[in-house]
Homo-oligomer: A and B are copies of this chain.
Amino acid sequence: MDFKRLKYFLTLAEELHFGRAAKRLNIVQPALSAQIRNLEEELGGLLFVRTSRQVELTSTGELCLQQVRQLFQQLTDLKEMAQASFKGELGKIRVGFSSIVAFTDFFSGHIKRFQDNYPKVEIIMHEVPPLYQIKALLAGKIDVGYASLLGLEKNPDLSARLVGVYPFVVAMRKDHPLAGRGKLAHNDLKDEKIIIYSSEDNDEFNTLTTHLMRSIEDYNVDYFDRRGSLLSMLTLVAAGQGIAIMPCPVQSIKASDVIYIPLAETEASTSFFMIRRAQEASPAVHAFWDFTGA
C-alpha cells in the first residue's frame, strides 16, 4: 500500500478515464492500469467497473474514495505540521520567571507579542526562583528563564541576554517620616531598618541587595533578615516593620498604606536576563529567542 497508488486511484476516480487520468499523472495508460490492478488485488476486490466505453466506481470504490480523500488531507496536514514545527511556529515553550519579573514591562511584552505572532505555540508559565531556573533549564524542566542573576556568562551550557536594567525604589508606610520626600539618597537610609529577602534557594534578592549593599556599605544599616516572598516583604513594610529596597517594577504592586520613593544618586541597579540552554534543539524556543531579541 502506497500513497502513489492511492493518488492514482484518486485521479482515476475523478477522471473516470484511464487515458486522461494517466495524462494528468504524467504516466502512460498501461502503467496506471497495472497500478490500479495492484491496488484492487491488495484490497481483494474491484474498485472500478470497466466497460470498454466507460469506467465507473463500484460501491466499494465510492466508499474508498471518501476515505482516501481524508487520508490525503491528513497527509497534507502532517507535512504542514512538520514544516510549521521546523519553523518554530508550533510547539511548547516552558517559560520560568521569578516573581519580580512578572511585574516588568518587557516580560509581559515579550509573551504577548510572541503569542500574537506565533499563535500556535503553547507557552506554559512557571514561577521559578532564580537559582532554580538554572537547574530547571539544565534538567529540561523549562526552556527559557527570566531572572536577575549574576555570573551567567561563566556557564558554558547556558546562553543569556540582558533584557532590562532597573533602578531601585524604597518601599515604606505612607506615614513614615521619609514619606514626603520626592526622592531618596543613601544618606537618608542611614538609620533605617531595612527588610531584606534572604534565602539559599533564591539568589535574586541576595544578588540585588548585595549589589546595592556594596554601594552603600559605608553606611551603618540595621537589616531585618527574613525568608518569604515579595508580597510578604510588602506586608512587613505595610506593618511598619521597616523599609524595603526593591527594583522599581515592584511599584506596580499597589499595597494599601505602602508608598514607593525612587532611590537616586546611586548607580546601583538590577539587571534582568533571559536565559536558555546553549545547545537548544527546539525550533519554537529559537523562534522565541530570536523574536524577543529583534
Could you list which residues of chain A lie within 8 angstroms of chain B, going by C-beta atoms? 1-4, 43-45, 49, 58-60, 63-64, 67-68, 70-71, 74-75, 77-79, 81-83, 85-86, 90-92, 281-284
Give the distance to chain B from A101, nearest Cβ to Cβ, in Å. 25
Give the distance to chain B from A49, nearest Cβ to Cβ, in Å. 6
Residue of B nearest to A56 (CB): B281
Which residues of B are found within 8 Å of A284, using beta-carbon distances?
59
**Given the known A-B contacts A60-B86, A86-B43, A90-B63, are A79 and B1 also in contact in the complex, defined by CB atoms under 8 Å?**
yes
Do A43 and B82 touch across chains, with their CB atoms under 8 A apart? yes
Q: With the chains together, A82 CA to B57 CA distance in Å?
A: 13
Do A86 and B1 touch across chains, with their CB atoms under 8 A apart? no
Q: With the chains together, A85 CA to B60 CA distance in Å?
A: 6
Which residues of B are found within 8 Å of A67, using beta-carbon distances?
74, 77-78, 81
Do A86 and B44 touch across chains, with their CB atoms under 8 A apart? yes
Given A44-B86, A71-B75, 17 other A-B residues pairs in contact with their CB atoms under 8 A: A1-B3, A2-B2, A2-B4, A43-B79, A43-B83, A43-B86, A45-B83, A45-B85, A58-B282, A59-B91, A60-B283, A63-B90, A63-B91, A64-B78, A64-B82, A67-B77, A71-B74
- What is the copy number of this chain in the assembly? 2
Do B1 and A75 touch across chains, with their CB atoms under 8 A apart? yes
Residue of B nearest to A4 (CB): B2
Do A281 and B81 touch across chains, with their CB atoms under 8 A apart? no
Do A59 and B79 touch across chains, with their CB atoms under 8 A apart? no
Q: Which of the listed residues A44, A49, A59, A75 has the most CB atoms from chain B within 10 Å of its own CB?
A: A59
Do A58 and B281 touch across chains, with their CB atoms under 8 A apart? yes
Residue of B nearest to A70 (CB): B74
Which residues of B are found within 8 Å of A4, using beta-carbon distances?
2
Which residues of B are found within 8 Å of A81, using beta-carbon distances?
63-64, 67
Contact with A282, one of B44, B59, B82, B282 (Cβ below 8 angstroms):
B59
**Given the known A-B contacts A3-B3, A49-B281, are A82 and B68 also in contact in the complex, defined by CB atoms under 8 Å?**
no
Q: With the chains together, A283 CA to B77 CA distance in Å?
A: 34
Q: With the chains together, A63 CA to B79 CA distance in Å?
A: 11
Contact with A85, one of B59, B74, B91, B92 (Cβ below 8 angstroms):
B59
Residue of B nearest to A73 (CB): B74
Q: With the chains together, A271 CA to B67 CA distance in Å?
A: 43
Residue pairs across A and B with Cβ atoms less than 8 A apart, 5 shown, are: A45-B83, A58-B281, A59-B91, A63-B81, A64-B82
Q: With the chains together, A43 CA to B75 CA distance in Å?
A: 12
Residue of B nearest to A43 (CB): B82
**Given the known A-B contacts A44-B83, A70-B74, are A59 and B281 also in contact in the complex, defined by CB atoms under 8 Å?**
yes
